[in-house]
Structure 1
Amino acid sequence: MTVHIGVHPHNPSLYHLSRLGLLETLLRPLGEQVEWHRVGGLDTAAALADGRIDFGGTGSTPPLSAQADGHDLVYAAVSAPRPGHGALLVHSGIHTGIQTVEDLKGQTVDLAIGSWQTHFVSKLLSSHGLDYGRDITARRAGPSSADDLREGRIGAWVAQGAELFAARRAEAVRTLVEAGDVIADRSVFFTRRYFADTRPEIVGTVVKALQQADDRVAANLSEAAEFTAGDQGGTVADWYAALAVLPWRLEPVSDAFLAEQQEAADILAAAGFLAKPIEVAQIRHAGLDQAVTTELGVNR
């Protein structure tokens, strides 16, 4: 059998696992092979639902959207919280009019719409009496976002990874809010319910390999930064800084994580971002929790 894994380039654990050969080594004694598929974060749920991949990973928002859209997916594992991974940036000039979160009202905010960044911005606005759907213009971030911010064409930009560290070197940019001060900002890994029901040991093996990859990268940050810069662009120094702030630790699905996701789902549903309100606990899978807990060596 071949296990199909979706690789989202901005999911660090999956990205590095796909190049290290660790999962291939673990699956070989089980008579299994692995095939890697480049899948965008917003396409991961659909690729799981239609069987193109068996396992994928994104930030916090895509699995919520998938559940609201009726896809029968279940959580497999999550990363530890990622403080330092992302931030909301504004122009540093004192005359720009954006000194507080409340000043974002009426502004254009560039972000990766549908990703964890939507969760972050929605919760941030909600906690300051603002509404994601009504009080800002959310624009999909792109290659011009950094320049647009520096030149005053947008009010704010959510940046992450190496782009965040590159932007911070520009004198015209300052951090308004760190993402980690608002949300846990975890990587989230999930699979189809049928795959979890029938092959929980394979899912557990994939998670074990992900943790091995995390351990390898954490011990070899310079090599990982050089590889990523060569593959994705940016400088080695910025990638090193971006990788160094990540926790490189996976956790089983927990009550605390489900509470985080439920809070996010409620905020996103109220903002009109989700198709309908959802009960996050419905896509927890007890058998998968046990398999993943065993493979990660976690005492619960």
Structure 2
Amino acid sequence: MTVNIGVHDANPSLYHLSRLGLLEQLLEPLGETVAWHQIGGLATARALADGTIDFGGTGSTPPLSAQAAGLDLVYAAVSAPRPGHGALLVRADSDIESLADLKGRTVHLAVGSWQTHFLGESLAAHGLSYGRDITAARSTADSYRRLLDCSVDAWVAQGAELFAARRAGRVRTLVEAGDVIADRSVFFTRRDVADTRAELVGLIVRALQHADDWAAAHLDEAADIAAADQGGTAADWREALATLPWRLEPVSDAFLAEQQEAADILAEAGFLPRPVTVADARHAALDQAATSALATGQEN
């Protein structure tokens, strides 16, 4: 049987796993194979729901949007917090000194990604609403240039782009993502897969940790691959990759509380069409499978 996995460039664990052959090695003794599907993070939940893929990973916001849309997805595992992964930037000479100054301004970000969670929670802490007090515009390849030419007022940057912008010295950090949210990678599957193939999902989680172990031990090589494939310099990619924890965790009460806080804020702001109960997406068998898989991975 073939397990179908969605992968996209912004999820480093899946990105490396799809290139290393580690999951294929784990599945071969079971007579299983894997097919990789290039699917954007915002399309991952829908691809799971319609059966295109069986497993995927994104940041924190897409599974909340999926729940709000009535898609029956369940969490498989999460990364450890990623405190250096992203930040909200303004021009070095901007008159924006605090989040309160963003009221009425335009912010470029990857709308619908973890960045929506980050910005929504940052604004809420200052009495502002993502849906009412700012204009959230989808970031593009020229977001950095548009920030510098005053076309936008702030920009949520991540990864190599963040380090490249900081190195140039023309931006200022307004808020670090890690000061507001845990900013985890989140991995999930359909409920029917969890109900019938929890052990298979556990193997995928174990393979993801093996891929993370490889990346942590080969940062220069991982940076060269990312720069050649996605653009930017290897030096900026290495700095970005070095900030990541490269460690997966089972779903925990703390993670569910983080997600519930985000869901409540985004529903109140109108980004989510209705409130959701995050705990409905927890699956006991997957919790057990992930805990066992990660413990086994540490022993190997």
Do they fold alike, i.e. is TM over 0.5? yes
1:144 deviates by 1.3
Q: Which amino acid aligns with 1:149?
A: L
- Alpha-carbon RMSD: 1.0
State how far apart, in whole Å, the 2-side matches of 1:12 and 1:125 are.
Answer: 27
Is residue 2:283 matched to residue 1:293?
no
User: What SS does structure 1 have at the residue aligned with 2:168?
Assistant: coil
Question: Matched residues, percent identical?
Answer: 72
State how far apart, in whole Å, the 2-side matches of 1:123 and 1:117 are.
Answer: 10
TM-superposition CA deviations, 1:97-142 (whole Å, max 9, x none): 2011111111100000000000000000000011111111000000
User: What SS does structure 2 have at the residue aligned with 1:208?
Assistant: helix
Aligned to 2:43: 43
1:171 deviates by 2.3
- Give the count of matched residue pairs: 297
User: What SS does structure 1 have at the residue aligned with 2:140?
Assistant: coil
Q: Which amino acid aligns with 2:16?
A: H
Where do residues 131-170 of structure 1 align in structure 2 (5 Å cutoff)? 131-170=129-168
Aligned to 1:4: 4
State how far apart, in whole Å, the 2-side matches of 1:5 and 1:284 are.
Answer: 20
State how far apart, in whole Å, the 1-side matches of 2:30 and 2:67 are.
Answer: 31
Where do residues 231-246 of structure 1 align in structure 2 (5 Å cutoff)? 231-246=229-244
Is residue 2:278 matched to residue 1:280?
yes
1:153 deviates by 1.5
User: What SS does structure 1 have at the residue aligned with 2:160?
Assistant: helix
User: What SS does structure 2 have at the residue aligned with 1:138?
Assistant: strand
State how far apart, in whole Å, the 2-side matches of 1:61 and 1:252 are.
Answer: 18
- Pick the aligned partner of 2:95 from 94, 97, 101: 97
State how far apart, in whole Å, the 1-side matches of 2:130 and 2:206 are.
Answer: 37
Q: Deviation above 4 Å: which 4+ runs of structure 1?
A: none
State how far apart, in whole Å, the 2-side matches of 1:276 and 1:153 are.
Answer: 32
1:266 deviates by 0.2
User: What SS does structure 2 have at the residue aligned with 1:154?
Assistant: coil
TM-superposition CA deviations, 1:240-267 (whole Å, max 9, x none): 0010000000000000000000000000
Query: Which stretches in structure 1 are left out of the alignment for 5+ residues?
Result: none
Aligned to 2:245: 247
Aligned to 1:197: 195
User: What SS does structure 2 have at the residue aligned with 1:142?
Assistant: coil
User: What SS does structure 1 have at the residue aligned with 2:221?
Assistant: helix
State how far apart, in whole Å, the 1-side matches of 2:74 and 2:129 are.
Answer: 29
State how far apart, in whole Å, the 2-side matches of 1:146 and 1:224 are.
Answer: 24
State how far apart, in whole Å, the 1-side matches of 2:274 and 2:114 are.
Answer: 18
1:8 deviates by 1.7
Q: TM-score, normalised by structure 1?
A: 0.98
Query: Which stretches in structure 2 are left out of the alignment for 5+ residues?
Result: none
Q: Which amino acid aligns with 1:288?
A: L
State how far apart, in whole Å, the 1-side matches of 2:151 and 2:92 are.
Answer: 14
Aligned to 2:74: 74
State how far apart, in whole Å, the 1-side matches of 2:30 and 2:162 are.
Answer: 41
TM-superposition CA deviations, 1:162-208 (whole Å, max 9, x none): 00001111222111100000000000000000000000011000000
Q: TM-score, normalised by structure 2?
A: 0.98
